[in-house]
Amino acid sequence: MLGSASLHILANFIKSPLMWALGVNKVMSMKLFKVYFWLLILIYPAIFIFEAYEYGYLEVIDYLDYLTGFLLLLGLFGYCYSKRIFTNTFWRIYFPFVVIWDALMMYQGVKGEADLAQPLFMIIMAIVLLVLVLPGYIGLYLYSYKNSLRSHT
């Protein structure tokens, strides 16, 4: 049987694996999420401009990808600053959608490129992308399922 201390540790681990693993308290984790949010705000337009410049045009799927990214940023903003944006139901549907969408977009980006299909390169890219997007997924998950400011709708 698990004691109450063990259950508390387990709950913290499930609630926020990254913050628990780093031993970061809630106040510090919110500061880290805010820094992450603002880094994404700075990086996101740069990626958009780079892709538009490199390819000369963007396809419809690229605009949909930026829309999903914008909604992720909106959810992170809501989580970081305790703002209610949309409903729990929206975020609970959107969370798995954005994870699957990102996986499909990564697959599409690698599919046609022979250089990118090398196993070592794919492992390195997967690690880098996880480091970049995992905090966003964790923040969006916490906003979708764990945020006490949100209503139960």
Give me the pLDDT at residue 98, please: 92
Over residues 13-50, the pLDDT tens digits come to: 545 555 554 555 666 678 888 988 999 898 888 877 88
Q: Where are the domains of the chain?
A: 23-146
What average pLDDT does the structure give for the chain?
76
pTM: 0.70
Least Cα distance to 68 among 31, 96, 87 occurs for 96
Instruction: Provide DSSP, 110-124.
Output: HHT-TGGG-HHHHHH
**Please, what is the angle between helix 60-80 and helix 88-111, to 10°?**
140
φ/ψ region of 23 (left if φ > 0, alpha if ψ in -120 to 50, else beta) reads: left
116 pLDDT band, cuts 50/70/90, is low
